[in-house]
Amino acid sequence: MKLLDVLNGQTVFPPPVWMMRQAGRYLPEYRQTRQKAGGFLDLCYNPDLAVEVTLQPIRRFGFDAAILFSDILVVPHALGRDVRFEEGVGPRLTPLKQDEVDSLDASRFHERLAPVYETVRLLRSELPAQTALIGFCGAPWTVATYMIAGRGTPDQAPARLFGHSFPDVLQRLLDTLADYSSEYLIRQIEAGADAVQIFDSWAGVLDEASFHNWCTRPVARIVQKVRERFPQVPIIGFPRGAGAYYANYRTETGVTALGLDWTVSWLQARELQAKGPVQGNLDPMRLLAGGKALSEGVEAILEQLGGGPLIFNLGHGITPETPITHVEAMVRQIRESKR
């Protein structure tokens, strides 16, 4: 598998390619399947339908990796928290109170997540042999921000205030999420995942000390626990917006590869790549715009990072409005590229 070769430190050109949120609303077949499922969580917990939507972008574009279709908030849901997805609004949770952190209900954690594990098993049997299967979880900090605020906010101020006001309580929450997320990833690997990714979508809102305590340390805890069980399985860390903290994040967490957002400079990206594989980092707006903006963005990544271990991806998830023809053009340009 090309993706696993890169994660093992090899340079492959053209590089393997996949996209975050590649199974999603920009695909008409996804929209049709989601209608069959009813609610979004119903789709996540229906193995047959979750397999179908995971396979849809593989059939269309021949990506080098499929990523399990699910959501980062299935972990708090499995810990007994109320999670719902409102159409056109996004996730909504009952905000977690300070005195509720130590009473999360993990009694049915794996039972609630059993459909996800079944989805992974089915996917591994149905995917082409050369297509890697990526499992994933949300990083404890990002998951905690939604649990505390009950929704996404522009700068996650409610979670930051909670952490500064009750640091010991937040640390216990992050440790709990790290421990159960580790178990979640281990079960995905047992079911057939070839690699896993940890999404920290809100890492970029933290100051240096908070980034270390709330982002890096919990992810390091996950990596350690997963490696104790599966030392050879690659782990991709994606601390979006980490900026100057990317290098320390790699060193302190021990992740195999770094997912880069589109704001990372070429100088920094090459320095990070010199220490190990990187993934990214096309601006999703270039993909949405298409044409010259897209082709120049793809060319720059291949020119700047194609000489080392690179997984081509976006710097964050594809937007629902992105034309399918733009994705086809991106994949074609990558696959036809010459050194």
| CA 104/CA 107 separation, integer angstroms | 9
Q: What is the DSSP string of 249-310?
A: HHHHH--SEEEPPTTS-HHHHHHHHTTS-EEEEE-HHHHHH-HHHHHHHHHHHHHHHTTSSE
H or E, element range at 170: helix 167-191
Pick from 4, 74, 78: nearest CA to 39: 74
The answer to whether the bond into 14 is cis (omega within 30° of 0) is yes
Q: Report the candidate in 42, 18, 26, 33 with the shortest Cα–Cα distance to residue 131.
A: 18
CA distance 83 to 193: 25
Exactly one of 26, 117, 146, 246 is catalytic; name it.
146
Q: Is 283 annotated in the active site?
A: no
Q: Measuring CA to CA, which residue among 175, 227, 242 is closest to residue 196? A: 227
Catalytic residue status for 108: no
Contact 258, 311 (CB under 8 A): no
221 among known catalytic residues: no
User: Which of 5, 42, 60, 71 is an active site residue?
Assistant: 71
How many alpha carbons lie under 13 Å from residue 264 in its C-beta half-sphere? 35
Amino acid of residue 333: Q
Please provide the size of the chain in residues. 339
Catalytic residue (one of 21, 112, 217, 250): 21
Q: Establish whether 339 is a catalytic residue.
A: no
Catalytic residue among 5, 25, 60, 92: 25
Residue 45 bears catalytic tag: no
> Does an H or E element contain 133, and which?
strand 132-138
Question: What positions carry a catalytic annotation?
Answer: 21, 25, 34, 71, 146
